[in-house]
Amino acid sequence: MITANLGVLLARQGKRVVLVDLDLGASNLHTFIEQPDTGRGLESFLGKSVDQFSEVVMPTKIPNLFFVSSRNCLTEAANLHTAHKLKIIRAIQKLDFDYVFMDLGAGTNFNMLDFFLTSKQGFFVCTPEPTSIENSFNFIKAVYFRVIKKTLKQNTFNQVIRHLDLSGNTMDQSFRIINAVTKQDHEKGALLREKLKGFHFRFVVNQLRRNDDPSLGSKIEKVCNRHFYSKFTFLGNIRFDDKIHDSILMRKTFITNYSYTRSANDLARIARSINI
Amino acid sequence: MTAFDDYTHYEILDLPANATLDDIRKAYKENLSIYDIDSLSTYSLFTTLEREKILAQVESAFQILVDGEKRKAYDKLLLVSGRLSPEMLR
């Protein structure tokens, strides 16, 4: 919902935007932007029925907004082969748009993390519930772990973790690895820290209800900026609104049908903060 | 990185070095609420041990900065170590 509406808002501001539905096996982004099945999507690119990725970048009814569908991908598409994943990532990196939004599903599987790591400007969404916030922290930890694993060679990684207690899912797991690497090879440790510092996580708190703490996002931002290496920016709250539910039931784009609502204003404010 | 190991007391409370007593008390309260065991923003981020360590550091920072004499002595230490410049205290 958020990807679709931010895409529409940025396109309305004159930016060329493409939305890529990478929630493989569970794609539904097309419904949020009222995009009909064009018969062309990611499956055409992976199945080689088209030569270029640009051939599956389809226009939408919103000027400046383009869309890559995965609605016709196999049900098992989430378990993407590495070669296919790399093919998609390389193709996306070549896209010439002002904004490329990759809509990812929830979770911390390798494919999801690698898609997320395609950019250094990742977004995540949480709701003001402990379970959702916990998932967000788990996601950040998983991103860190993935970056470390990808940066270090397998042998080095195995050698480093051999003497470490990495049980559980504690916050300092990645930091313990980085400290151990630094002890062995100062430059490599510094490289890992620099890589993680280079990431800019942005996030929104969605479905904020009347009794929820509106400063929750700012608190999370503060904590993350203090205790992780990367930069974190809280973009704002999106207030809970039954109209969002209504728009989904009608399979209509929320922002175009309910632009007068407070939630639509929240989304517009977030879009303006991105478009700078 | 998990706690505030390399942070000054000012950094722990997220305050400038010329913060007023009122600022210090406000920041202390805010930090206590952020790192409280029931805090929605951190309850799932830290282990009990990590949280205890952080809260102890917040407490220690507050006890020093809220006491005029202790703060002066601490500022001197920061000035000597180069982590603070005289302009920052104005």
Distances (CA, A) of B41 to A91, A121, A253, B56, B79: 37, 22, 31, 18, 34
Distances (CA, A) of A183 to A34, A57, A143: 54, 47, 23
Per domain, the residue ranges of chain B are 20-89
User: Which residue type does A166 have?
Assistant: L
Query: Residue A265 above 80 pLDDT?
Result: yes
The reply to whether residue B41 touches residue A223, judged by beta carbons under 8 angstroms, is yes
User: How many separate domains does chain A show?
Assistant: 1
**Nearest CB partner across the interface for A227, out of B1, B14, B47:** B1
In a domain, A145, yes or no: no
Please tell me the predicted confidence (pLDDT) of residue A173: 78
Q: Which residue has the higher pLDDT, B5 or B68?
A: B68
Take residue B28 and report the two structure tokens written for it. 């202390």
Please tell me the predicted confidence (pLDDT) of residue A105: 85
In a domain, A217, yes or no: no
For A22, the domain range is: 2-119+241-274
Calpha distance A41→A44 (Å, rounded): 5
In a domain, A36, yes or no: yes
Query: Residue A58 above 90 pLDDT?
Result: yes
Interval B30-75: pLDDT, tens: 999 999 999 998 888 888 888 999 999 999 999 999 999 999 999 9
In a domain, A188, yes or no: no
- Contact (CB, 8 A) for A220 and A188: no
Q: What is the CATH number of the domain that holds A54?
A: 3.40.50.300
In a domain, A136, yes or no: no
- Contact (CB, 8 A) for A182 and A226: no
Please tell me the predicted confidence (pLDDT) of residue B28: 97
Please provide the average confidence, as pLDDT, over all residues in chain A.
90
Establish whether this prediction's ipTM goes over 0.90.
Answer: no
Provide the chain A residues 104-133 that lie in CB contact (below 8 A) with chain B: 128, 130, 133
With 0-12 / 13-18 / 19 or more C-beta atoms within 10 angstroms meaning exposed / middle / buried, residue A45 is buried
Question: For A268, phi and psi rounded to 5 degrees?
Answer: -65, -40
The reply to whether residue A213 touches residue B40, judged by beta carbons under 8 angstroms, is yes
In chain A, what percentage of residues exceed pLDDT 70? Answer: 97
- Closest to A183 in 3D by CA, of A159, A166, A216: A159
Pick the residue of B12, B40, B49, B58 with the most A CBs within 10 A to test the interface with A by mutation. Answer: B40
Is some CB atom of chain B closer than 8 A to the CB atom of A226? yes
Interval A159-210: pLDDT, tens: 888 877 776 666 677 888 888 888 888 998 899 999 999 999 999 999 999 9
Interval A89-142: pLDDT, tens: 999 999 999 999 999 988 888 889 999 999 888 999 999 999 999 999 999 989
**Nearest CB partner across the interface for A130, out of B34, B40, B46:** B40
- Closest to B88 in 3D by CA, of B16, B25, B20, B22: B16
Candidate from A30-34, A233-237, B84-88 with smallest mean pLDDT: B84-88
Please tell me the predicted confidence (pLDDT) of residue A205: 97
Pick the residue of B38, B44, B54 with the most A CBs within 10 A to test the interface with A by mutation. Answer: B44
- Closest to A2 in 3D by CA, of A233, A213, A231, A274: A274
What length is written for chain B?
Answer: 90
Q: Among 1.10.357, 1.10.287, 2.60.120, 1.20.1740, what is the CATH number of B20-89?
A: 1.10.287
In a domain, A93, yes or no: yes
Is the dihedral angle over the CA atoms A107, A108, A111, A117 positive or is it negative? positive
Question: In B, what residues contact A, Cβ < 8 A?
Answer: 1-2, 4, 14, 34, 39-47, 50
- Contact (CB, 8 A) for A46 and A40: no
- Contact (CB, 8 A) for A5 and A60: no
Please tell me the predicted confidence (pLDDT) of residue A232: 96
Please tell me the predicted confidence (pLDDT) of residue B12: 94
In a domain, A95, yes or no: yes
Please, which residues have CB within 8 angstroms of residue A41's CB and are 6 or more apart in sequence? A21, A56, A68, A69, A70, A71, A72, A73
Please tell me the predicted confidence (pLDDT) of residue A47: 86
Please tell me the predicted confidence (pLDDT) of residue B2: 56
In a domain, A140, yes or no: no
**Nearest CB partner across the interface for A175, out of B2, B41, B42:** B2
Using left for φ > 0, alpha for ψ between -120 and 50, and beta otherwise, residue A20 falls in beta
